[in-house]
């Protein structure tokens, strides 16, 4: 029988003496030699284009948790691009500014409970996803959220800009129903797994997979039109 | 055109099929031009999604946030 023990690797940053980086690891103990492997990284660190977390982020977080709004503003400026881009893709350009503000206000109110076992960027990203999902609850029905078989075969989205010869990827994305767009953004852009998406959107993993496939096919169709 | 295998192409690209399903899809791909075309199209969609840019919002949203976080939490 194998036991898994959670441990922490503590190492000194070579270029910032005195600041400890704590990285969770799993030590598996069994008949074989102990194996150390990193826990699956959180979604935002799996996504492409993720900026490296600055060394002093934990200091900024601690200051913000103590009520320093200027430290929180520095965190905001560091992360607003990714949060706003996520929200623009999930709720649309018209609502992205307000949703971004809501996400950071929620983060400010909750930062005292931020435990630091994930990066601040990952944590605020999760808050932004919840803001996006909350913003569309009650607005639309499931029938409007996802692509069903008939929609998929006959998907003829409105072209946001008929004057352009070729829609770019973002515009093609905006033509998808909310649910299908959310699945694609969370999986292909943000790096969430189907199990995580299923939990967030209150759907099955199978639905997440089928919606992802249909969303990709629909975008391909729009881009090739 | 789509067929029963088209539905499996995303899971094929995401490496979520069982070895047996994967082998079936690969055999089918050798014979089906339409599915090979779809596979390449899906691969391009996935590739473009992964490199979407991060854009800073055109408006400074901080003043609106600062106004809402004044005072005790």
pLDDT of res. A50: 43
pLDDT of res. A7: 33
Answer whether residue A3 is part of any domain. Answer: yes
Answer whether residue A45 is part of any domain. Answer: no
pLDDT of res. A34: 34
* A113, A136, A159 - which closes a domain: A136
Distances (CA, A) of A82 to A86, A89, A138, B54: 6, 11, 26, 6
* A136, A164, A199 - which closes a domain: A136
CA distance B9 to B13: 6
DSSP code at position A42: P
Answer whether residue B73 is part of any domain. Answer: no
SS (H, E, C) chain B: CCCCCHHHHHHHHCCCCCHHHHHHHHHHHHHCHHHHHHHHHHHHHHHHHHCCCCCCCCCCCHHHHHHHCCCCC
Answer whether residue B36 is part of any domain. Answer: yes
Q: Which domain holds residue B45?
A: 6-68
Residues A63 and A129 in one domain: yes
The count of domains in chain A is: 3
Q: Cβ separation of A169 and B16 shorter than 8 Å? A: no
SS (H, E, C) A19-31: CEEEEEEEEEECC
Answer whether residue A44 is part of any domain. Answer: no
pLDDT of res. A118: 83
Residues A128 and A152 in one domain: no
Residues A159 and A213 in one domain: yes
Give A211's contacts (C-beta < 8 A, 6+ positions apart). Answer: A146, A147, A179, A180, A183, A184, A203
Residues A56 and A131 in one domain: yes
Answer whether residue B1 is part of any domain. Answer: no
Answer whether residue A46 is part of any domain. Answer: no
CA distance A179 to A142: 8
Collect all residues from B whose CB is shorter than 8 A from any CB in A.
2, 6-7, 9-11, 16, 38, 41-42, 44-46, 48-57, 59, 61-62, 64-66, 68-70, 73
Write out the two tokens for A187.
């999986």
Distances (CA, A) of A15 to A20, A21, A150, A205, B44: 11, 12, 57, 43, 40
Cβ-based neighbour number of residue A195 at 10 Å: 11
Interface of A with B in 128-167 (CB under 8 A): 153
Q: Please list every residue in chain B whose beta carbon sits closer than 8 Å to the beta carbon of residue A96.
A: 57
Which secondary structure element, helix H or strand E, spans residue A48, and what is its range?
none
Answer whether residue B24 is part of any domain. Answer: yes
CA distance B62 to chain A (A): 7
CA distance B30 to chain A (A): 20
Q: Cβ separation of A108 and B73 shorter than 8 Å? A: yes
- The angle subtended at Cα A196 by Cα A191 and Cα A199, nearest 5°, is 145
Residues A57 and A90 in one domain: yes
Answer whether residue B15 is part of any domain. Answer: yes
Low-confidence ranges of chain A (pLDDT < 70): 1-56, 137-167, 225
The count of domains in chain B is: 1
CA distance A151 to A153: 6
Low-confidence ranges of chain B (pLDDT < 50): none
Residues A21 and A71 in one domain: no
CA distance A176 to chain B (A): 14
Residues A119 and A152 in one domain: no
Average per-residue pLDDT for chain A? 73
Q: Which domain holds residue A97?
A: 51-136
Q: Given CB atoms, is A89 within the 8 Å cutoff of chain B?
A: yes
Residues A111 and A179 in one domain: no
């Amino acid at each position: 029988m194998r036991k898994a023990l959670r441990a922490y690797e503590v190492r000194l940053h070579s270029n910032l003496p005195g600041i400890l980086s704590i990285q969770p690891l799993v030590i598996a103990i069994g008949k074989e030699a102990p194996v150390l492997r990193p826990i699956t990284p959180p979604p935002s660190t799996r996504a492409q284009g993720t900026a490296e977390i600055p060394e002093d982020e934990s200091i900024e977080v601690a200051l913000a948790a103590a009520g320093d709004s200027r430290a929180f503003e520095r965190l905001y400026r560091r992360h607003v691009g990714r949060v706003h881009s996520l929200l623009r893709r999930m709720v649309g350009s018209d609502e992205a500014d307000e949703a971004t503000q809501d996400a950071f206000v929620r983060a400010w109110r909750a930062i005292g409970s931020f435990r630091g076992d994930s990066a601040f960027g990952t944590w605020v990203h999760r808050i932004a996803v919840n803001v996006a999902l909350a913003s569309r609850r009650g607005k639309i029905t499931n029938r409007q959220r996802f692509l069903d078989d008939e929609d998929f075969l006959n998907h003829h989205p409105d072209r946001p800009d008929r004057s352009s010869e070729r829609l770019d990827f973002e515009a093609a994305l905006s033509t998808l129903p909310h649910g299908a767009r959310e699945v694609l953004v969370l999986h292909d852009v943000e790096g969430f797994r189907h199990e995580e998406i299923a939990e967030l959107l209150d759907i099955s993993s199978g639905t997440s997979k089928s919606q992802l496939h249909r969303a990709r096919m629909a975008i391909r169709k729009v881009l090739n039109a | 055109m789509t067929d029963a295998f088209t539905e499996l192409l995303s899971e094929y690209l995401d490496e979520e099929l069982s070895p047996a399903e994967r082998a079936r899809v690969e055999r089918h791909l050798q014979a089906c031009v339409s599915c090979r075309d779809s596979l390449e199209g899906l691969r391009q969609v996935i590739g473009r999604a992964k490199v979407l840019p991060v854009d800073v919002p055109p408006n400074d949203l901080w003043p609106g946030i600062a106004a809402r976080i004044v005072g005790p939490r």
